[in-house]
Every structure is written in C-alpha cells, then in structure tokens.
Structure 1
Amino acid sequence: MDIHRCRFIDYSPQSITSSAFSHRSTNALTPKDLKLAIGRAGGSIEIWSNHGSNNKWLREQTLPGGKERTIESLIWANPAENLQQSTSTPNSTNSTEQPRLFSIGGSNSITEWDIKHGIPIINYDCNAGVIWSISINSKQDKLAVGCEDGTVVVIDISGGRGVMEHELILQRQNSRVLSLTWYNNDMIIGGCSDGRVRCWSYDDSSKGRLISTLRVDKSQKESTLVWSVLALPKDNQLVTGDSTGCVKFWDLKHFVLKQSFNSHEADVLCLCTDLNENKIFSAGVDRKIFNFTKISNNNKKNSKWVNSSNRLLHSNDVRTMTCFESAKLDLLVSGGVESVITLNSIKNFQNSSTQRLPINNFPSNIIINENKKLIAMWQDQTIKIWRLKDKQHDTNNNSNNQKENHEDQNHDSTNNTKKLVAKLTLSDEDNIISCSISENGRYLVVARLSSIKLFELIDLGKKLQVLKVSSKLLENSGAKLIKFNELEKLIVMITPDNLVKSVKFDTEDDEEDEEKISEFDDEQDILEYKERKTANDDEEDDDEEEEEEDDDEEDPSIESNYSNLEISKNGKYGIISKFNGLIKLINFKNNKLTRLIKLNEIPTSICFNSNNNEDSIFVISFNKKILEINLNSNDENNNNNNNNGGNLITSWSKINSNNLPQSFINLIGQCYKMFTTNTIDEETKSEKPRLWCFGHDWVAFFDITGATNSTTNTNNNNTNKKRTRNGSMSKTENPIISSNSSVPDEFGRFFWTTKKYKNLLYVNKISNDELVVVERPISDINTTPAFNLSKINL
C-alpha cells in the first residue's frame, strides 16, 4: 500500500474572535442541548455540542460567512433557561423554544441566526454608529449594544424569535464603547476608548442616566482603552481589563477601586468567571492566561483577590474566553489569532491538561477524484485543485509489499509529485459550502446556501481550464450537500431546508459534438424525493411513521439536520443521515426515499461496502460503534422497517459490532470518514477487503473478510472460550482481533491503527493500493507576528 502524505493543502482557518455558551453555568446536570458558538474573522460561526465529557465535542453546524464579513461578538438568549429558574425545576423541558443566537460584526446591525438552516433570521439596524460591543441582561430579554459614536442602545427581544424592538438610548457621551456588561437588570456598564468606565442606571426611577464614571490608569504614549468589563453581582464588584495590561477590581456599591494588578505585558482583551465568582481569568495580547482567586477571611466580611497562577497556552493573541460549569463539566474555552479552540479546566487550571479541538470541517472541505488523481480543497470563495502523479513502481521493493500497512511506503507529496492545476475564485460574496467532481473528472459543481454553479474542467495537460456552464435553474437553487450520480445522470443535493432533490445532467456527453458540450437543461423540473410508506406496514404503522417524520422535519434543532450524503458507485442507491441517528435510503431506480434505520447514537460517517456490490453500508457512530447494514432488507420478502431484526444487520456486524477492540474505541475524537479498499496480497494472491477510518490524529482499518471468516470457522483455534457461572468453558464466536493480540500468520491482522499522522484533514483511497493522507500542521498556518514576551518563567 502506497501512501501519499500531503502537506501542501494550504487550508488556513480564520482567527477566532468570539465564543459563547448557549446556557449559563449551573450546579445541576449539563443541559442536553448545550451548544458552544465560535465566531471567526471570516464571518463564519461554528456550533459545537458536548457529549458527556470535556473531550467529547462534535461540530454540528457551520453558519457560513462571506466576503468582507466578520464576527466580533456572540450572545445567546435562552428563554427556556429563565422558565426553568422561575419554575425551580432544573433541566425541565417545558419550553420548546430553542436558544437564540445574536452576532455583531463591523456594522451598525445586529444579526439573529437560524442555527438549523445556517442563515440569518433578521438584521436589525440600530440607527447608530458601528457596533463594537454587545451584552444581555440577567432576564435574557434585553440587549445592549455599544457603538463607535458613543451611543449605547437597548433593544427588547422579549417578543420571541426574529423580533427585535428599539427600547432606549442611554445618556450620550462621545467615546467609543469598546465593551459592555449588565449588572443584573439594573445597571449597564461600558468600557470606553478614553480610559473611562461609565455606569448607566437602568432601574425604573432613573432609567438611562449616567450615574458614575470610573477612570483607569493613563498610558504615557497613547490613550488607554478599556477592552473588557465583567460584573460580579454576588460581591457587588466589577472587573476591568485595559490596554496598559492592568486588571482592576472595583466596588460597585461606592464606585471605588479595590485592587489593581499590573499582570499583563500588553492589552487585556477578555475576562470571564466561574459559577461562584471565586475565580477570574484574564487574557490578551501577551498570550498568557492569568487566574485570579478570591481569598475570604472568615472573621471579616471583606475579601481580596490574589494572582494565583498563569499559563502560556497560546502562540498568539487571545481574543476570547468563556466559562461553563455543571455537575459533570468544567470548561474554560479560549481562542484567538492561532485559530485553534483551547479547552482547560476551571477548578484545576494550573495543572490540567490542555485539549485543542480539531480544525477539521464537518463535512470535509476536501474531495478527491480517483480517475484523474485530483485533490480539491475549498475555503471561503476559492477552490484549488491539485493533481498527483502516478505512483512509480519500484521492482526492488516488491518484497516489502508483503508487509502490513504500518510498514508501507510513504511518499511526501512535494513539487515533484503534485501540481496545482486549477484555482477558481468566485465573484459572489457567499462562502462555498460543498463541492463535487464527476467521476470522469470533467465537471465540478459548487454549492452555496444561495446558489449552485456548474463548471467544466478541460484537461490541457499542465493545467485545467475552467469554463462555466450556464444554468439559471441551478443559480436559483441552494444546497449544503451535493454529489454527482453519473450512472443515473443526476446531480443530487440536500437543500438548506433539509429537502432531498436532484436535477438531470449528463457528465458523459459527446465531447466531439461541440454543441452538446456543457449544456444544462433549464426547462426541466427539479425532482424532490419524499418519504414513501413502506409496502408491508399496516395503515396505523404508516400513519405513525408519517406523523413522526413530519414532527422530525419541523424540529427546529440542529439534530434534525442532514449531515451525510453518499452515492453508490453503481448509481443505484444514495444514503443520507441526520444527527439524531435517522438514516434514509434513496433508490434512484424508482425515486423512492425510505427510512432505513434510526440509531441511538450520532452517525458521523457512512460508506458503501464496495466489496459486495454495494448492497450494504458501514456506519460509524460518534462513540465509534461500527454497523454494517443490509440495503436489501426492505425487499418485499424481507421487509423490516423497525430498527432491529430480520436481515437489516449483516452477519459481520452481528458478530463484531459489540466486540470492537478497546484500543479503537478509546481513540480520542470522532471518525471523520470511512471507505473500503480491496487490495491483493502479493504472496497469497488473495483479496484483502478492508474498512478504513480516520480521526484527527489516528488512522485505522479492519480486515472485514478476515474477521468474518475467522468467526465462522468451526476450528477450535478460531473460537474463544468463555467461563460460565458453573465454571465450565463455553465456546464463543471470535470477534475482531486487535493488532496487539497474538494472531496466527494464516489469519493476518484483522485490526490495525496508527498515530503516526497528526492534524489530519482528510484520508481516502485514490486507488485500491494507494492512499492519500492530508495533514495540516498548526505551525504551518500563517498568522500575524505574536507579541514578544520579555521573559518566560518556567
């Protein structure tokens, strides 16, 4: 097996500018719908969900940005959280209203987002200057925004989703409002560009009046900027961070300074606190995160803050921090110019291990074309296509081909083995969401939420000429997932509204007939695949199924979104899956869409089994459980639409799905993609069907035929003995054997994994005996120069 180790893919995620949790910290259990929103400089917003522990995160949705757009701050409003507090029933689900997400970014408008469909609900113009800061009150029914001209505008959002109403403009002043925070519901505090902290009253008696002005230290070279403010209602205190590197604690009862720490060597850009307001974290341009701890005296009511620790966890500016605590979670999230989300512990900040979330897009923004050996990557409005040269067979290495994959040949794709053959930059503002290249390498389809474009790729030898195929029908359609089905002459898409559609397009048109090249039929009707009732279910079951499906389509949460779309090579089937575990089958022969199975876990990747005529699929869940599902289980003589039973689960899956190697299950992070290969053993000349999968820093494969053969063999050597309660030994079927196990040579290695590759973006086959491994080391991502620390204390 030859491996192309590619590090030339220059994917560079934008810097992180903001972060926010959908729920506030609590002593109760973690809310099931907890989300983490991450804003980036390119205008995109990532929605992450947690699944039970600090190291289990899934990137569920990306709200796409656009040209010259940015996200400067994010705020969640959670009406259900207020309902739970008023009813005194934590984790209750009395309200079906989802958390609302608001953003600001370099304009005078506030944007509320539809996080399910990835589009804005409303852009509200504040009729003031460019917005620099935003904050929400304790009741989560009012927003305050600080503007460049010194205006602070209060907006009422109590009307519900998509409703924002102007309420009040606070007493005016002339300095830019760089930061804002609410003190409960009675006061609004703003950090300004003139080195002052201004406090406006918001109680009924003096609403909107400026009641106090606090001054921070002056800088000798330039005016002091108050970049961050944080209210501590439990102690009637305020924390500020400014451009001199000072962190100051203020008494809000008497509006006086209590303590000041000149801890940072540069601007303090962000502040956050824990649930009990006993710990304060500050960070900024000097890359360090400082932890301030409150020390209380039992004999006196007063308390003081101490600089307890600091850590250098980032390689560049830290622009945002946010905290969340619950009964099982303890999270300090930070990010900045280096583009990587960093997680630490709040309670054990000094000694905790640091976790960094992967930069992988989900679904991936990299695709390959096996026939032409093309690799395509898209980011923002640009698509780049490289061509890999054919592998060079070395007769001297024939003996090495008998070795297993951990000893296979690695080829670094340098300038001699790859070439950039096309670069396409779209003039539209919207970011690209999905792309697909036809199997013959002649056509490229590009999807965005607002439109779809089709291009023809003409091979000129050293480069590809890109020609646009005009189509008003596609330009008026949008998609978030798109694929070619060449045998059925279709372009299959998932729309932003989670509808499954297709249009006819022949990628095998006659190249010699110039009139037929690059023609698209705009007169055709778009075909929509709607779920049909199954043949053998009775009417009541059909009604229940149809009603359940309708409820699922109307679900406003991200979990009801489609996350995977795969098309079989023979063009007969398509597979789509949702985050809620629902998997559906598209039959392109009869244009039927049927429910195949609903899992209790999140399916993160799906692939067709190319070793059995694609009559089954492999599905891997977020917790790395692998299932093989038979696609012919819905035939008339063998129909079983319920989750389990019949021949829906294959014999391989029945034996091995619950017996996967523990070393595989314990791998950190999700599986991003699966695929199958069928190599030929040079020594035995026998086929080796394998199932491959990869994560952020690991690659693994299963020898699926070998495992099944070993379990069905009646030889005693191929069975495990299990001791029963009475002490006797019973024979059990042998599951997949780990590479660490002692495996006889005649059985080969059924499971293998490696952590040789780091920061993996993509792994796939480019032929049955060639793999493409795309890495993107974080150190290779270009960033602005970092602040030069005067010294580093170890």
Structure 2
Amino acid sequence: MTQGKASMLVHRARFVDFNGANITALAFSEVSKLEKRTPSDLRLALGRSNGDIEIWNPRNGWCQELVIQGGSDRTIEGLAWSNVPGEPLRLFSIGGSTVVTEWDLKTGLPLMNYDCNGGVIWSIALSASQTKLAVGCDNGCVVIIDISGGAGVMEHETVLQRQDSRVLSVAWKEDDSVIGGCADGRIRVWKVAKQEEIRGRIVQTMKVDKSKKESTLVWSVIYLPKINQVVSGDSTGSVKFWDFQYGTLSQTFKAHAADVLCLTCDESHEKVFSAGVDRKIYQYALSPSTSTKKSSKWVVASNRLLHSNDVRALASYQSKGADFLASGGVEKNLIISSVSSFSDGSYKKVSYATPFHKRVLINAEQRLCVAWQQSTVKVWIVGAGPEEERTYKLVCKLTLKDEQNISTCAMSPDGQVLVVGRPNTTKLFHLQPFNGKLKVTKLDNEFLLKTGIKQAKFIDNSSLVLVSAKDEVLSLNLEDDEADEEPTEFVVPELPETKSAMKLPHITAINHLDIRGSFAVVSRICGEVYMIDLKDNSVVTVARIMNFITALHITNKCTVVITTAENRILEFSLKESEESGIGAMSDWCKKNKDHLPKELENAKSKFLGIFSSEERIWLWGYNCLASFDLTQDLPVSNRKRPKKHKIDGNTVTDKSNYIDANGEEEEDDEEEAEDTQSFMRDRSADTTEGNRFTKDSKAYFFTENYKSVLLANVFAEKEIVIMEAPFTSKKASLAAFDLPKLVF
C-alpha cells in the first residue's frame, strides 16, 4: 500500500447461473398522439414466458418500476391496457389458460380472473372505446367481455359466431367489428355493434396462401383505420394488406423467410412493422399518392437485424417527445428503436439481467452468496484462503413447490435463518452446516405463512423488517414467544391524493428498504423517502425526490445516500444536530451534487446499488463501478452542465415530468422541477473554490470494465465481491473468479 492510495481486492464471480425468460408480449399504456406531449402515465408492460409482467417507465433511459411475479407453468401470451380518462390504469393478461386476468398494480396480485369457457385463450385486444375486450379462443369462438364497470369488473357480453379453427390473433375496427386471424389460413370479420341485425355473425372471410405441407396460421392481424385496411402476418412469411370494405387482397409481400409473429404500425398508419422467426424487423411504407387514395401503394422501405433470435412481440408509441418501437423475443432483451428513423436511427438494448429488482444477496459474515430465480434458491460459500486457493462451492439448493415465483429473500447475519418471500406467502428456513453442505429445516411461523412480502432485511439474527405485498412496513421478532408471532407495524405517512397516484396506483408502492443499527429507510416509487427509528417506532419523512430512485443505502455516519435514474447522487441526514434536522442535505452533497464527474453523466448504465466501506461509498450498475470519498470534495469543472432533458431518441425528450404531482399535462417551469421539494432544509450552500476541501488521495474512482453485474457488496475489510451473470458464449475461457486489484 502506498501513501495516498489504497488497494482493494475485487472478486469477479460468475458462478450464479442466471437464466432469463423469453419476451412474449409488449403493450404501451397510451395510444399514439403526435400532437400531444408525452403523458406522465406512459408505461410499457412486458410479459415473459415464466409468467412475469414487468412495468417499464421510458423516462431517463428506461426504468423498471415493478415486477408482477409469475409462477410455475405460467406464461404471458398477451397484454392489454385500459386507459380511460379519470380512472386508474388497468392491465389485463392472458397466458396458456382459459382465463383473462386483471392485475392489481399496487400489490402485484390478481384482482380478477374471468373464465371465458372457450378453451385456451390465444389472443386479446381492447376496443377503441377501451370498454370491451375481445379474446380469441381455442374452440374457434371470440368472446366479448365488458370491462366498463371499473377496476376488478369483467362481465360477459356476447360470444361471436363460432367456427372450427383456433383464433390466433384479434384486432378491433373501432367498436364495430372484430377481425380475427385463424389457424386455417383465414381472416374472419365479426359484427359486434349492438344495433346491427347480424350482430355476432361472420360477415367477411379473407383467405391467405396455403402451405403445401401444413395449414397456414395467421399469427397476427392489425387494422389501419385511416386507410381502412387490414394487415396480416402468417406462417408462410407473408405480410398481406387487405381492403376491409370489400374483403379483397390489395398487396402481398413475401419478405420474411419464416413465420411472421407480430405486427405494429405508426401513428399516421403510413408505416407498418413486421417481425418473426427469421429475426428481422421489416418496415413497410405507404408511398405518396400522385392522384387518388386508391393508387397509394405499400413498399418495403427497410429491414434491420437487431435481434439474435425469434422476435415474438412488437409495440409502438409516438408523441411530441417520444418515438418508440419496442421489440422482444427469444433473445430475452428488450430493444427500443425509433419508428420515424427506423432504418438508420439509434437503438437501445435493455438486458434482461439488469437488476432493478435484486435476485442476489451477500452474507459477508459467513461469506455466503444467495441467488434466487422463479422457485429455486441456491447458496454458495466463497473460500477465504490465499488468492491462488480461493474457491467457491454450492452448499445448498432449495426448490419450493409453491406456484408463485420468489419475490425476495433475506438471510440473518449468522447465516442460519433464510426468509423466502412470495406475493402470497413467506417461508422460513433454518440452515445448519453438515458435511460441507447446509442442512435445511423448515421453521413454522403462522404470520409469515399468510403474509406475502416484497422486501425484507434482518436487523439482527432474530428480528427483521419486512414490507408486505400490501405495502405494510412491519418488524418481526422470530424468537419472541410472548409476542405470539405478532409483528409491529410502522405507520408510514399516507400520500395526498394526486391525479398521478390515482392513474398509476403502483407509484405509491415501496420499492427500497435498507437497515443499519437502529435506523431503517424505505422509499416509494414516486420518490418519497422515510426514516424509521426502530427504537421508538417513529417514522419521519426524509426527502421527496422528483425522479425515480434506483438505490439507497444508510452509511455509518447516519446518513442515507440515494441515486436516481439520472445518476444523480444525494445524501441526507438521518439524525438531528445543532445545525440541521432530519432530512437535511449533507455538506458533501451540497458542495458536490452539481459537480459530479463527466463519466457519470455519460455512463451507459444507471447505478442500481450502493454499499460503503470506511469513508467511501461504492456505486454499481449493470456494467460499471464507482467510488467516492465523502471526506473530500470533487474537482470543480468549468464546463457548462448539460440540460436536464438530454436529446436521446430512445427515451422521452420533452419536458414532461417523471411523475406529475398535480396530474396536469402542462409544461412545467424547470426551476420548479428540482430534485427535491422545498421542505428539505439547508439546500443552499456556498460551493466556491475556497470553501471546498480536498486531500491527496483521489476523490472518486469510476470504471465500466464489467458486464452483466447482478450485485456488488463488501465481503470483508478491503475486499469486494461483484456477482456477474455468466458469459453466454461456450468458448469463453475466463474462470469463474478473476481477482484484479483496483487502486483508487
């Protein structure tokens, strides 16, 4: 070790076998409107083959706000949003079953399951009025469900005329007709309007090309109201454009080499996108008409190979500040490209392993690594011998028989108690060393068995703080027999009613929890941060951050460090002092929050976790690691700070807020959209050069030399472990451990 410098041993561990699930469905919560600004409630719902549904916010480079857990033998094959003005967003899904499920976004639990009694449901679509669902069934019928009654209400309206083939895809023509792509190579149109005498009957049938070997499957259909055309994609690789009025074929394109699985269009209905098994996304453009509308022709404008495997889902959205073409499939990664500049525009790849919600934890005291996925928990132990003898070993594998996927895990500091939480129930296990392994014994706890949790952390070896699926913050002593397993509830302040909270019920949900000593800190998705005193059970508001919080951590100085989606770093006090109170910005934050290194502002990934050692805090993201010495100031840069809203074609670029507290869609004064509200004390600070303090050692360290980081944490004094998702290439010769020394 040299003067002014310190070495840190870093374990790069790649033994966690993390396998993601295929993307099977995508849906935006809003209908494209180019003349309007991007609404604050725009979200993308992403469904996976393991039954998970992810809710993504496109602001600030795409943030995953919520994961609705799936379960064994579950999948998501279709998603639909209902977005009625003045009512909360409603999300519906189908997946390999006979029911349509409406989800409670706040708790992540099913709100209503409606059985259509038509066999397995293959497709789902929402009407233009957003009051009716059409679902295509295995027995050849289309069921119309009335959802106008409000959240949790699905009522049977009618069953359209049955035919003999599975209805693989459905689309609406306003509220008047339903268009269905069937497994016998036909596209059928049913009348739905109540005033029609032939309501529920098939009024048109359009037939696609037959395959010589097997029947043609019409995997996808969409309707283009501005030109009154239907577009279909089928198993022969053909994309066909049909005149809806006469039911005749206008044009056909054999662009794809295999099945066309999904279609979408732009807001003007002058561009159509298709994708499928051959991995390519094709763009078709309506050529300008020189005479009449009928003379307009579609042409293949371009194609791009953005995926390495089958593309299963496409979705598009356009507004004044957004231009998104979202795609996903067997590759598992979400890819965001541009609708208007698809052929040569930039694109963003969001890896399935990006840990907005953690699936790994580290037990430093026992040198254990715990990872969970779906219904399986694995525990490894990492040796503490010399560098050349350092090894890892799987000491426990626990597979649960419950239907739901695991939402979170927690382990006591001594490594003997493991808590495994799901949305509906929580189980408790005792781990004991036995013959080089960990022997697992199930512990009985009636309260946990009937309580689902989404966050949990131990205070000590016998007590823990947990956040239930219903957002209750509770503490529980596992060894207190007199308490009769009854928890203590901390009363977190209720938020005032706002239009944003009404529209998006899940933004008031708690998404982060950290504990140190007698303090716990929790945050909501909407940016509220609270401190809980575990001694007197009091709850105090620390801050209100007007941006998505990506991570928080309590330091040994009784402060909480917070990172946001813009890679801002904020630090607030958790205790009263003579100079300031709880929630005051620290001196380091006042002086340095506007002087963060340029590397952070230009970083490709967000900071998703924080830990601390001695006087330094460590921040980590999907491919980066940074460290800051909180005892000295960052160097001052004379360059102009970039505008808050950067120009980036793959994120929202207008001035619409992350969360619009008043629910208004008017442009906000940027001065009023500060990171923190006025109740946060001591915001102003003299940041002149003469008031700043520096030392000989480097004030910060930053690197982007990592890949697919799942978690990083302290393992011992001057020892860090970084858990990375394993390399997918079979030719990769890198060992499970690399042990370079970092000097900062």
Q: Same fold (TM over 0.5)?
A: yes
**Structure 1 equivalent of residue 419 of structure 2:** 445
Contact 1:229 1:271 in 2 (8 A): yes
**Structure 1 equivalent of residue 373 of structure 2:** 379
Cα–Cα, structure 1 residues 549 and 255, in superposed 2: closer, same or farther, change >3 Å?
A: closer
Query: Is 1:173 paired with 2:163?
Result: yes
- Choose from 651, 659, 662 the match for 2:598: 662
Q: Report the AA paired with residue 470 of structure 2.
A: D
Distance in 2 separating the partners of 1:134 and 1:465: 47
**Structure 2 equivalent of residue 498 of structure 1:** 471
Distance in 1 separating the partners of 2:227 and 2:503: 41
Residues 632-671 of structure 1 show CA distances to partners (whole Å, capped at 9, x for unaligned) of 13x6x67746x6xxxx222111111221112212213321
Query: Is 1:322 paired with 2:315?
Result: yes
Residues 397-418 of structure 1 show CA distances to partners (whole Å, capped at 9, x for unaligned) of xxxxxxxxxxxxxx9xxxx621
- Choose from 624, 639, 645 the match for 1:698: 624
Query: Is 1:471 paired with 2:445?
Result: yes
Between the two proteins, the alignment pairs up a number of residues equal to 673
Distance in 2 separating the partners of 1:574 and 1:555: 29
Residues 558-603 of structure 1 show CA distances to partners (whole Å, capped at 9, x for unaligned) of 22111111010xx311111112221111111112122222222222
Deviation at 1:473, TM superposition (A): 2.1
Question: Secondary structure of the equivalent of 1:168?
Answer: strand
**Structure 2 equivalent of residue 483 of structure 1:** 457
Distance in 2 separating the partners of 1:184 and 1:373: 60
**Structure 1 equivalent of residue 569 of structure 2:** 626
- Choose from 535, 541, 560 the match for 2:508: 560
Residues 144-201 of structure 1 show CA distances to partners (whole Å, capped at 9, x for unaligned) of 1110010111111111111111111111111110010011221111111111111112
**Structure 2 equivalent of residue 528 of structure 1:** 489
Cα–Cα, structure 1 residues 720 and 431, in superposed 2: closer, same or farther, change >3 Å?
A: closer
**Structure 1 equivalent of residue 736 of structure 2:** none
Unaligned runs of 5+ in 2: 1-7, 641-686, 732-744
Distance in 2 separating the partners of 1:461 and 1:657: 51
- Choose from 611, 614, 637 the match for 1:675: 611
Contact 1:473 1:522 in 2 (8 A): no
Query: Going by fraction, where is helix more abundant, 1 or 2?
Result: 1
Distance in 2 separating the partners of 1:207 and 1:430: 41
Residues 600-653 of structure 1 show CA distances to partners (whole Å, capped at 9, x for unaligned) of 22222111213x3xx2121112212212211113x6x67746x6xxxx222111
- Choose from 48, 53, 57 the match for 1:49: 57
Distance in 2 separating the partners of 1:149 and 1:624: 51
Cα–Cα, structure 1 residues 736 and 148, in superposed 2: closer, same or farther, change >3 Å?
A: farther
Residues 652-691 of structure 1 show CA distances to partners (whole Å, capped at 9, x for unaligned) of 111112211122122133211011113xxxxxxxxxx221
**Structure 1 equivalent of residue 535 of structure 2:** 589
Give 1:59-138 correspondences, 5 Å limit.
59-80=64-85, 95=86, 97-138=87-128
Cα–Cα, structure 1 residues 722 and 479, in superposed 2: closer, same or farther, change >3 Å?
A: closer
Q: Report the AA paired with residue 490 of structure 1.
A: S
Contact 1:656 1:735 in 2 (8 A): no
How much identity, in percent, do the aligned residues show? 40
Distance in 2 separating the partners of 1:190 and 1:450: 37
- Choose from 27, 43, 46 the match for 1:20: 27
**Structure 1 equivalent of residue 136 of structure 2:** 146
Query: Is 1:225 paired with 2:186?
Result: no
Contact 1:377 1:385 in 2 (8 A): yes
**Structure 1 equivalent of residue 653 of structure 2:** none
Contact 1:469 1:520 in 2 (8 A): no
Unaligned runs of 5+ in 1: 81-94, 395-410, 507-518, 532-544, 679-688, 712-718, 724-729, 738-745, 783-794
Deviation at 1:428, TM superposition (A): 1.0
Contact 2:89 2:503 in 1 (8 A): no
Distance in 1 separating the partners of 2:434 and 2:691: 54
Cα–Cα, structure 1 residues 707 and 592, in superposed 2: closer, same or farther, change >3 Å?
A: same
Cα–Cα, structure 1 residues 319 and 464, in superposed 2: closer, same or farther, change >3 Å?
A: same
Contact 1:331 1:344 in 2 (8 A): yes
Cα–Cα, structure 1 residues 129 and 722, in superposed 2: closer, same or farther, change >3 Å?
A: closer
Residues 93-146 of structure 1 show CA distances to partners (whole Å, capped at 9, x for unaligned) of xx2x22110001111111001111101110011122111111111111111111
Give 1:612-623 correspondences, 5 Å limit.
612=557, 615-623=558-566
Cα–Cα, structure 1 residues 20 and 735, in superposed 2: closer, same or farther, change >3 Å?
A: farther
Deviation at 1:316, TM superposition (A): 1.1
Question: What is the TM-score normalised by the length of structure 2?
Answer: 0.86
Larger Rg: 1
Query: Is 1:164 paired with 2:125?
Result: no
Distance in 2 separating the partners of 1:272 and 1:734: 57
Question: Secondary structure of the equivalent of 1:559?
Answer: helix
**Structure 1 equivalent of residue 657 of structure 2:** none
- Choose from 581, 602, 605 the match for 2:551: 605
Deviation at 1:523, TM superposition (A): 1.8
Give 1:124-273 correspondences, 5 Å limit.
124-203=114-193, 204-205=195-196, 206-273=198-265
Question: What is the TM-score normalised by the length of structure 1?
Answer: 0.81
Cα-Cα RMSD: 2.5
